[in-house]
């Protein structure tokens, strides 16, 4: 996860397998809940690990 954080300037909140059942979007749902709480979360694909990552930008406080 540190490589992703360094390369993207983002902190990984959670990883989700890309093999979720058809019609299921757990990463998007998790990110939406974080956005509802005021965090600017978004979903990106990590091709190397075949996973969806929910990330937030790294702020000055980190």
What pLDDT does residue 2 have?
43
What pLDDT does residue 14 have?
96
Q: Where are the beta strands (DSSP E) in the chain?
A: 10-17, 42-46, 51-57
Phi, psi (degrees; rounded to nearest 5) at 55: -125, 155
C-alpha span between 22 and 12 (Å, rounded): 24
The whole model's pTM is what?
A: 0.78
What pLDDT does residue 1 have?
43
- Tens of pLDDT, residues 4-60: 544 568 899 999 999 878 888 999 999 999 999 999 999 999 999 999 999 999 875
What pLDDT does residue 8 have?
63
What pLDDT does residue 22 have?
83
């Amino acid at each position: 996860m540190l490589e992703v954080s360094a390369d993207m300037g983002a902190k990984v909140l959670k990883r989700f397998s890309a093999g979720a059942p058809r019609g299921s979007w757990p990463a998007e749902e998790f990110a939406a809940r974080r956005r509802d709480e005021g965090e600017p979360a978004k979903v990106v694909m990590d091709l190397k690990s075949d996973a969806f990552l929910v990330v937030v930008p790294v702020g000055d406080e980190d």
